[in-house]
A and B are shown apart, each in its own frame.
Chain A
């Protein structure tokens, strides 16, 4: 049965490598279709109500146990990599020395309950924080990717100094301290936990792991110890990164076993078996611990819920700052439908942020309130706006927080409306031609109308505006632009701009 571990490793890499490369890819060379792979993640599948995928994942779990954790989940595989790498830095004695530990039931069931309760309350706060796929997405997009881009930029500067333009400089996505802080915290947490304790994070913090742990005791196949040939040497226990094998008691805690099959390889006596659970008398798994703790869990949960809600309330009433541009409504990416749908379904995995060719998408700090931390919003700056012929963000979203929009629909999706402040406009204040805003408007919502002395001033037709921010990004008035985009709470279809009158006459003279 040793081949099982090899299959597990191969499968894990098959999911892990494309995912990490897809998140890192800043050149747009990898096909966007790779995002289909991400739909196999539990939370995205649940959020997008993809019944086929949910069915497949459920069947896999009921057949093989927590195979999702050991192969499909990138955060799980990432921790395996850390755990495996840590061996090279540890003293020989300590290598592979896992010991059976008791499950952290209070913590894991509380976190699961919190997550579920929050969802019931309509907040994806814990989803965002704890979904393992999204956590991993943030590791890559906010920690690894910037490093790769720095490397690329250093190299491209070196090359372009020598007249070689084969590499080009890539702009870093703007640094968002809140998102970076949270991501770093989880990176350190997951890193330390996996370095010393293997899959402790998956069996304590991760709500997906905990849920699958509830299902695992019923899976058709499971790891068990053949008592007749077992010598209690403890090899299996020492190699078990879930620390769920009690070799003395010859028991495996199914709820924490991630089906990594390391123990099968470690056992010299071939006493570790991965076999059909129901062929002999079934040992009913002890779930009493969870039940006993329900009251404590409830108290913990409700306390946390209340404090969070109170905090969220405080944050919504942040005092308005000087310029109205600073207190504008956040701008959701196209396809977000409305703020309720978007906030409830986005897990902040940052895939759209990394794929946005304009890098206008950035993780939010508190723009959406506390339960929308790290969900993407549009942040315009010079040359940075939502490009007209692009629907990448809503095409790649694995949770369908962003609904895919065909290109023609995207071009009419109103994600915001331009607000013009003529009293600040260059044309009015300096009496000169400018027109940068209308120049960048793809829908002619911002257009120039006669002012005086042959000058023209901008004007906005709100029904035509799609809120792409072209105008805001290029408006030379700083620090607060004379034209800016205000977000909408529900995205509607903008009016289709009228076409110009066609010119049919034939010109066959030079005119000079």
Chain B
């Protein structure tokens, strides 16, 4: 904190002399846009408190959501499972994010997932529907092809085009809010795997090298403002559905970063402490790095680690 405060005040003073700002407030908000860490990891708090803290470190919600913005939040709501099984994103986290966006002046906050299980049951039993509507957001159906629009992925290797949910295409800003899980097919499901819930045709992924298609999907030009990886409860085994609470480990953690690859790399390192996994086996991470989606080299990034 001390270092941050020092830099902040130094920068403010510096800017104040250079720009001759009308008010100091304007200078600070200006500063927030220019600096800020590449990744914030928080540990030891409740979902909402960790999110508040992490976003604050990232420069505040106002940096991402402007007044009147249409916002989309894309959690993992793939399964008809209760929150304790960690098959879906933590509802408290999603609710807190929606609330934050609303307080930043978002005109609407839409939440959807192209679920694997029955969408209505998944929305309800994940607890996300209630959390979102209580926070002033709206649940949007993702169960029908008519909600999806075709886009091109010029950088994609196997996946050259796909259909993406139109609410995401039409919004001003979106947040990718996956949960950290083991996954039988893709080895692990984190922020890039979560993109399979914004597309309509998933069968193509499974038929054309799942890992490559996931990496290809991450080249989608409209990047999320942040990947907010929920690691409050993680699913260490039997993913992506899980069988029982024995598959769940409570880590009380949160990793946020605008960089898909960095977020997934960090999440994998955290996951490996519970279930040792060779990150090379999660092939889409390296493939995405090759497509210049992001970096696995956390050393080069400004990573903030906070224990609460």
Contact = CB atoms under 8 A, between A and B. Distances in A.
Tell me whether A and B are bound partners: yes
Interface of A: 28, 157, 160, 163, 165, 168-169, 171, 357-358, 382-383, 387-390, 426, 430, 432-436, 438-444, 447-448, 454, 456, 474, 476-478, 497, 499-503, 505, 507-512
A433 B209 contact: yes
B45 to A, nearest CB: 13
A499 B210 contact: no
Contacts of A443: 243
A168 B273 CA distance: 43
B236 interface: yes
Given A357-B118, A502-B246, A512 B270 contact: yes
Given A476-B207, A510-B270, A500 B244 contact: yes
Contacts of B147: 160, 169
B146 A160 contact: yes
Interface of B: 41, 43-44, 80-81, 110, 116-118, 120-121, 125, 138-141, 143-144, 146-147, 167, 170, 183-187, 203-204, 206-211, 236-238, 240-241, 243-244, 246-247, 249, 251, 253, 265-266, 269-275, 280-281, 283, 298, 303, 305, 307
Contact of B183 (A28, A382, A439, A499): A439
B283 A440 contact: no
A415 B266 CA distance: 42
Given A160-B146, A389-B125, A500-B247, A436 B80 contact: no
Contacts of A507: 249, 251, 270, 273-274
A506 B137 CA distance: 35
A435 B214 CA distance: 14
Contacts, number: 146
Contacts of A500: 236-238, 243-244, 246-247
A68 to B, nearest CB: 36
A334 to B, nearest CB: 16
A168 B246 contact: no
A179 to B, nearest CB: 23
B141 A168 contact: yes
B277 to A, nearest CB: 11
A510 B185 contact: no
B18 to A, nearest CB: 36
A447 B237 CA distance: 12
A169 B184 contact: no
A497 B243 contact: yes
B118 A454 contact: no
Contacts of A163: 170
Given A168-B141, A387-B80, A510 B305 contact: yes
B215 to A, nearest CB: 12
Given A389-B121, A439-B185, A508 B241 contact: no
Given A436-B185, A442-B243, A500-B238, 16 more contacts: A169-B143, A426-B207, A430-B207, A432-B210, A433-B210, A433-B211, A434-B210, A499-B246, A500-B246, A502-B246, A503-B275, A507-B270, A507-B273, A508-B44, A511-B269, A512-B303
Contact of A439 (B141, B146, B240): B240
A390 B121 contact: yes
A503 B249 contact: yes
A448 B247 CA distance: 16
A434 B246 contact: no
Going nearest first, the 9 A-B pairs with the smallest beta carbon separation are A435-B185, A512-B269, A168-B141, A476-B206, A511-B269, A169-B144, A438-B184, A476-B207, A499-B246
A476 to B, nearest CB: 4
A361 to B, nearest CB: 13
B183 A165 contact: no
Could you say which of A171, A387, A478 has the most chain B C-beta atoms within 10 Å of its C-beta?
A387
A502 B247 CA distance: 7
A511 B209 contact: no
26 contacts: A157-B146, A169-B146, A357-B120, A358-B118, A387-B118, A389-B81, A389-B125, A390-B118, A426-B206, A433-B211, A439-B116, A439-B183, A439-B241, A476-B203, A499-B247, A500-B236, A501-B246, A508-B43, A508-B307, A510-B43, A510-B253, A511-B266, A512-B41, A512-B269, A512-B270, A512-B298
